[in-house]
Structure 1
Amino acid sequence: MAELKLVVFDVDGTLVDSQDDIVSAMTTTFEAIGEAVPSRADILGIVGLSLHAAFEKLTPALYPTHGDALVEGYKTSFMTSRKLRDSTETSPLYPGALEAIERLYAQDNVLLGIATGKSRRGLDHLLHAHDLRRFFVTTQVADDHPSKPHPSMLERCMYDAGVEAADAVMIGDTSYDMDMAANASMASVGVSWGYHTPEKLRARATVLIDTYADLDAALNGIWSKTP
C-alpha cells in the first residue's frame, strides 16, 4: 500500500464562502457597543484567526477595554443569525470543493483533516449543514488550540492521522494558513479565491491554485518531490 498522506483544509474562505455571515455578525457586534464598523476588507483580513487574536488585530485601540465584549457579542450575533438563515445558502461551498474532497477521500492512502479558526460548535454546524463530517478523520478548532499561525492544530492533525509532516499538506486562503504550515514543517497550497490576495499568499505557499480542478496536480507535484 502507498504511504499515507494527509490533506488538511481550512474552512472559511477555502471550503466555504462565509463572508456574508462573518461581516453581518461583525457589523452587529460593533453597532451594539456604539463603535464604528471596520471595513469589509479589514474584517475579511482577520478571518482565520481565533476570535481574541482577530479582534486584537482588527481594533487594537478598543481591544484592551472591549475585547471580551466584542468576542461574546460576535458569538451571540453569529449564533442568532445562524438560527434564522440557511447556512448552505449564506456559507455556500466554493465551486469544486465537494468534488475535490470526494476525489481525495476515494484514495485509500489519503486522509483528510480540518484546521480552522472556527469554534467547535460553529464547525460542527457547518459540517452538518453540508454533510461533510464523514470525510474527515481529524477536525481541529480554535477552542482547543492557540490561534493560527501557531502549528498546534496541524501537529494534532498529524498525530491523529499518524502522518509525518513530509507527507502532509495544508490548504488555505490566508497568510495565517501558510505560516502555520511552515511552522509545522508542512507544505502548503494557497487558494486564490479566498480572503487574502494571491500576492500575499504567493511568497508563502508551496503552490498557489486558482480552482479546485488544479488541486490534484498541485498535491501530486508536492508529493513527487518528497524524498
Structure 2
Amino acid sequence: MTDRLRLVIFDVDGTLVDSQADILGAMAAAFALYGLDVPPREAVLSIVGLSLNEAMARLVPHLPETLRAALVAGYKNAYMTARVASDTRQTSPLYPGARAVLDLLSRQSHTLLGVATGKSQRGLDALIASHGLEGLFQTRQVADHHPSKPHPSMLLAALRETGVDARDAVMVGDTSYDMDMARAAGIRAIGVSWGYHAPAALHGAHHVIDRFEDLPSRLEDIWRVAA
C-alpha cells in the first residue's frame, strides 16, 4: 500500500439506498397531477440515476417539453413532501451492509469517500441527514451542477475537489450510466448486482459484486494493481 490518497465514489439510489418506493411514489404523484398514466415500474427504475430532465425526456419523449418540465417540478415537490411526511430510513433504507462498509472505509487513513448522484442537492442533503451520514463524504456531486450521467463531469469534479488521481479512484454504482461515466472519466468501475439495472447490463464494470461486504477486498485488489 502506498501513501497516496484513494477515493471511492458512490452512486446513491440503487447502490447505497433502496429508494424505489420513494421514487415510484413521487413519479405517480407527478403524473396524476396532470391526469397522465404512470409509466410502468420497470421503465421508471430504468432511468434512475439520470438527472430528472434527462430521465423525463427518456421516459416520456412524446410529451411536449413544457409538460415534461412540469412533471419534473411535480416530482420534486412530491418527493420532498414525502420526505417530511415519512421516515426515509424506512422508505429509502440503506442496503444490507452499507453502513458498516462506509464506516470501515472512512476509518482508513488514506481513503476518502464521495457521492455522485442524479439527485438534487436538496434531495441528497435530506437523505444523508435522515440516515445520519453527515461527515462521511468529502465530495458530494449532484445533478444541480453537472450534465446528466454518463457525462464524466461529476467524477472529474470529485477528482479536482479531493486532489486524487484518476488511477486512485473508483466509482461504485448499480447502473450502466455509472459504469459509462466512470469509463469516460478514466477511473475504475465496480458494479453492484442489487440495484436497478441487471448485472448483465453493467458492461462497463471492471468488477461486479453481489454483497456490500465484498467491496473492501475488491478495492484492495484494485489498489494493489494501481500501486
Change (3 A) 1:184 1:63: farther
Give the 3-state SS of the residue equivalent to 1:133 in structure 2.
coil
Deviation readout 1:145-180 (Å, 9 max, x if unpaired)? 110001111011111111010000000000000000
Which residue number corresponds to residue 226 of structure 2?
226
Q: What is the SS of the residue equivalent to 1:113?
A: strand
Shift of 1:65: 4.1
Q: Aligned pairs, how many?
A: 226
Aligned to 1:208: 208
TM-score, structure 2 as length reference: 0.97
Structure 1 position 167 matched with structure 2 position 168: yes
In structure 2, distance between residues paired with 1:154 and 1:141: 10
For residue 223 of structure 1, report the CA deviation from its aligned partner: 1.7
Structure 1, 214-223 or 148-157: larger mean CA deviation = 214-223
Aligned match of 2:181? 180
> By how many angstroms is 1:218 displaced?
1.1
The one-character-per-residue Cα deviations of 1:45-75 (angstroms, maximum 9, x if unpaired) are 0000000000001111015341111111101
SS in 1 for 2:148: coil
Q: Distance in 1 between matches of 2:204 and 2:195?
A: 15
Gapped regions of structure 1 (runs ≥ 5): none
Report the Cα distance in structure 1 between the residues aligned to 2:161 and 2:134, rounded to whole angstroms: 16
State the SS of the aligned residue for 2:96: coil
AA paired with 2:135? R
- Is the CA contact (8 Å cut-off) linking 1:55 and 1:63 kept in structure 2? no
**Displacement over 4 Å in runs of 4+:** none
How far apart, in 1, do the equivalents of 2:27 and 2:195 lie? 18
Task: In structure 2, list runs of 5 or more residues that go unmatched.
Answer: none
The CA RMSD measured in Å over matched residues stands at 1.0
Match of residue 153 from structure 2: 152
Partner of 1:112, secondary structure, is strand
Partner of 1:137: 138
Residue pair 1:10, 1:173 contacting (<8 A) in 2 also = yes
The question of whether the paired residues in 2 share the 8 Å contact of 1:28 and 1:77 is answered with yes
Shifted more, 213-222 versus 87-96: the winner is 213-222
Q: What percentage of aligned pairs have identical amino acids?
A: 54
Q: Which residue of 2 aligns with 1:24?
A: 25
SS in 2 for 1:6: strand
Q: Could you tell me how far apart the structure 2 residues matched to 1:145 and 1:223 are?
A: 28
Correspondence for 2:104: 103
